[in-house]
Amino acid sequence: MDSLQFRAALGMFATGVTIVTVRGPDGSLVGLTANSFNSVSLEPPLVLWSLARRAGSLPVFSQGTHYAINILAADQKDLAQRFATRDIDRFAGVAWREGAGGAPVLDGTVACFECANRSQYEEGDHVIFVGEVERCSARPGAQPLIFHGGRYFTELPL
Ligand SMILES: Cc1cc2nc3c(=O)[nH]c(=O)nc-3n(C[C@H](O)[C@H](O)[C@H](O)COP(=O)(O)O)c2cc1C
C-alpha cells in the first residue's frame, strides 16, 4: 500500500467540515479547517479531532484551555478554503462571538461544540485532541457542508 492509495481510500469516507478555533495567550484569533472531527463519548460528552504535528497552530492548541469546533454550513465553503490557506488573515470580516474559555464561536454554522482541552495523544504525524464538551448548539434542518474525495458537497436525502 502506498500513501496515495491510503489517501484515496480515506477520501471515500465522506465527512462534515469544521473550523476549530482557539485564542492565543495574547488574545489572538487562531483557527484551521479540519475534517478529522468525530464523536467519542456521550457520558461524559467527549469529541476528538486531530492536528498535523507540522501545523503552525499546534503550540496554541496544545496550551489552550478551550477550543470551539464549528461545523460548517453548505454556504461556508469559502471559509473552509480560507482557514486552510497560510499567510492570510483568516478571521478578516468573519463574524464571531466569545465562547467557553474565550474560543471564537463563528456565526452561520450548523452546530458548534465548545470544548475544554481534556487530553492529547501523539500518534504518527498527528496529535489527537480529545475535548470535553461544555456547551453545544445546533440548527436542526440546516444544510451542512460535506467533504468527499477532495470535493465539497451538500446533502441529498435518499
Ligand atoms: C477539508 C479540509 C480538511 C482538513 N482537515 C485537517 C485536519 O483534520 N487536521 C489537520 O491538521 N489539517 C487539516 N486540514 C489542513 C489544514 O486546514 C491546513 O493545513 C491549515 O493551513 C493548517 O493551519 P495552521 O498551519 O495555521 O495550523 C484540512 C484542510 C481541508 C481543506
Dig out the grid coordinates for 66 from the structure: 478551550
pLDDT in tens, the chain (158 residues): 899 999 999 999 999 999 999 999 999 999 999 999 999 999 999 999 999 999 999 999 999 999 999 999 999 999 999 999 999 999 999 999 999 999 999 999 999 999 999 999 999 999 999 999 999 999 999 999 999 999 999 999 99
Residue 94 beta carbon below 6 angstroms from any ligand 1 atom: no
Instruction: Please name each of the domains of the chain with its CATH number.
Output: 3-9+16-151 (2.30.110.10)
Looking up cell 507540522 gives 54
> Ligand 1 centroid vs 48 CA: distance in angstroms?
15
pTM recorded for the entire structure? 0.98
Closest CA to 83 of 70, 97, 100: 70
> Ligand 1 centroid vs 125 CA: distance in angstroms?
13
> Ligand 1 centroid vs 33 CA: distance in angstroms?
5
Residues facing 97 on adjacent strands: 105
N- to C-terminal Cα separation, the chain: 34
Residue 52 beta carbon below 6 angstroms from any ligand 1 atom: yes
CB 69 within 8 A of CB 49: yes
Cβ count near 36 (within 10 Å): 15
